[in-house]
Structures are given as C-alpha cells and as structure tokens.
Amino acid sequence: MKTNEIEKILGISKEALRYYEKEGLIKPTRDNNNYRNFNEEDLRLLKVILLLRSLEVSIDEIRLILNNQLSLSQCLKTKKDYIQNDIKNKQDIIDKIDKNLSRKKAYFGYKTIPEEYKNEIYLCFYNDKVIIHDTYKIQLNEYREYLYEQIHQIHISLCTRAYNQYISQNNQLQMPEHYLTYGLATLCFIDLDIETDDNNYQFESHSLNHIKDIFILLKQRNVNIHDPLGLMDIFIQKTSEDELRKTLFQHLKIWEKNFGIDNPRSIEVTQQVSNFQENIKKEDIHLDQYVGIIPQKVFYALIIIFIFALVFTLMVAFIK
C-alpha cells in the first residue's frame, strides 16, 4: 500500500507517517522509485499507535510497548491513575475558586447596624471605612475593617429573584386564590464585589434598604467604582421606591442581554411551582384546593354553563 492509501484508510497525514517512521515505530519498505510501501503489519501497528496516541500515551511509552518492554495494561493503568489524580487536583482548584467567588447574602447597613443583624452577615458603610462581617453568626469582635483608601474597586451589579409567599417549603399552596391572582413576583437586589489587598468579597443585598444612602456616600468618598449598569445614578436620582423599581424593571431586559446579569438567580420558587404542577398532574392535589374558596361542584357548574352559552351564541350567529 502506498502512502496516499494509508492516509485514506486511517485518516492520517503524511507528516505523521514520516514522524512515526523517524521515531522507529514503523519501518515501511521502499520500492525502486524510493516510494514507501506499507504492508498489513505496518497497517496494524499504525492502528495501535493511533489508538494509544488518542489515549495520550507518549511516543516513548509506545516504543516500549511495541518492543515488549512495557505491558499495554500496565501503561493504561498508570495513565488512568495519572488522569484521575489530575482531575482531583483540578477539582480542588475549582473548589477553591468557587469558595473565593462565592456570593453571600448580606445586610447592608448605613452608618449603623441594627442590633438584630449583629450576628448575621453584613456590611456597614461609615464615613471613613467599611466594616465587613462575612461569616454567619460570628462573634461581634471578629470582623474586617477597611478604610476607603484600602479598597481597590467596588463592582456594582443587579440580580433578581423569583418570589411567592403563598408556596411553603413542602411545595404546598397555602392560599390558592391569592397565588392564582398574583403568581410569582420578581424582586431586585444589589450585588457588591469589594476588592482589597487581602480579599475579594462578593455580596448580595437582602433588600434595597439604605442602598441610596450608601451610593451617595461612596461617591463622596471618591471610591473606585465599576458600575456598568449606571445603578448609582438611578438610585440617587429616584425619589420614591415605586419610581425606582419601575426604572429598574424598564432596563432589566437590556441589562440581561448586554451584561449577562443573573436573572433570576434563584430557582427555589420556580422549582417549587414546577413540583406543585407535577403533583397536580399526578392528582395528588385536588381541584378544590386549586380553586380556593370556590366549591368544586360550583366550579364545574360554571364551566358547563359557559360551554352551553358559547355553543348557543355560535348557533345563533350561524343561523343569522
């Protein structure tokens, strides 16, 4: 077989064939015109070589295997152990990265923290510094304190969460008539990433309380702010909470498209709704639970009356 035939059979390049020949893995014969000729044994060896290369076995290891100085099974076992160890090491690195990037829900305080929050995760912005409690239920004296001059940058962004107060933890609908009326609500929260010499903090606000005052303070302190959404100006300019929320939701779709913000970040409630609907399909939840205060028989009667009225209207219209 000529070189071009081997290329077609194995999908291999001329350069690879020359390289394997140079390394002594294959030894094709030459004809009178000095063209390479490959026999069936060469073809078999090339198939073995390509298989081992696909498993990332080195050329030196392949040479030892072909010379019966290393067993194939031992080589592959060593390779498997190496890959598994490499995967574990990389997963450890990923876990460390995730830990460093983990975003915590925190209370944002302005110049004071209410007593009930002092054992929670929180940030408090004072005139000259920021105090950070970043561990749940830590002792009061275990906190980080940074002057604004020590903060390299504060990145500001937005996230949303799906919310409904009528679905309980066990996926039961507590007030069906209210759920059917109001459905799921979308709430906005502020993300703050604070970069310092010794740490990178990532927090999500529990609410929008004090955010306007905090943004005004940060502007006054000339902190290096990265605010691609322009949230600081929006919060500072809006005088009412309703006006603020309306503006945020007007911009939300554009922000999702252009900045890839987390919307919605939380899937807890939407998952609850999905589970709830699945239970309805399985008839675990009866119709009278779903329609709330309307008795089931009355509900069925109203449906039947509506159908008859619709049919009658269509018949009258057809006769005319």
- Residue whose pair of structure tokens reads 């509506």 in the numeric block: 306
Residue 65 belongs to domain spanning: 3-70
pTM greater than 0.85 (yes/no): no
Check whether residue 214 and residue 150 sit in a common domain: yes
- Regarding whether 233 and 167 lie in a shared domain, the answer is yes
In a domain, 240, yes or no: yes
Does 255 lie in the same domain as 173?
A: yes
CATH no. for residue 40?
Answer: 1.10.1660.10
Helix axes 3-10, 14-22, angle to 10 degrees: 110
Q: Which residues contact 166 (CB under 8 A, 6 or more apart)?
A: 173, 174, 175, 176, 178, 179, 182
Residues 239 and 312 in one domain: no
Q: Smallest Cα–Cα separation from 202: which of 97, 93, 110? A: 97
**Helical residues (DSSP H) of the chain, grouped into ranges:** 3-10, 14-22, 40-54, 59-66, 72-101, 176-182, 211-220, 231-237, 241-259, 268-281, 287-290, 296-319
Of 268, 286, 307, the position where a domain reaches its end is 268
Q: What is the distance between the alpha carbons of residues 178 and 215, in angstroms, rounded to a whole number?
A: 36
Number of domains present in the structure of the chain: 3
Q: Are residues 162 and 261 in the same domain?
A: yes
Computed over every residue of the chain, the mean pLDDT equals 81
- Residue 158 falls within a domain, yes or no? yes
Summarised one tens digit per residue, pLDDT across range 41-54 is: 888 999 999 999 99
Spans of the chain below 50 pLDDT: 137-138, 283-294
Residues 317 and 224 in one domain: no
Number of Cβ within a 10 Å radius of residue 61: 18
Does 176 fall in a domain? yes
In a domain, 282, yes or no: no
Tell me the per-residue pLDDT of 189-223, one tens digit each, with 9 for 90 and over.
Answer: 999 999 998 888 999 998 899 999 999 999 999 89
Q: Are residues 178 and 262 in the same domain?
A: yes
Tell whether 203 and 245 lie within a shared domain: yes
User: Is there a domain that residue 22 lies in?
Assistant: yes
**Is residue 205 domain-resident?**
yes
Give, rounded to a whole angstrom, the gap between the first and last alpha carbons of the chain: 86
pLDDT of 67-82, one tens digit each?
Answer: 899 898 888 999 899 8
In this structure, is residue 188 part of a structural domain?
yes
Q: Which of 96, 190, 194 is nearest to 144 (CA)?
A: 194
Whether residues 159 and 211 share a domain: the answer is yes
What pLDDT was estimated at residue 290? 45
Which of 48, 70, 92 is a domain's end point? Answer: 70
* pLDDT for res 285: 46
249 and 299 belong to one structural domain: no
Q: Is 89 a domain residue?
A: no
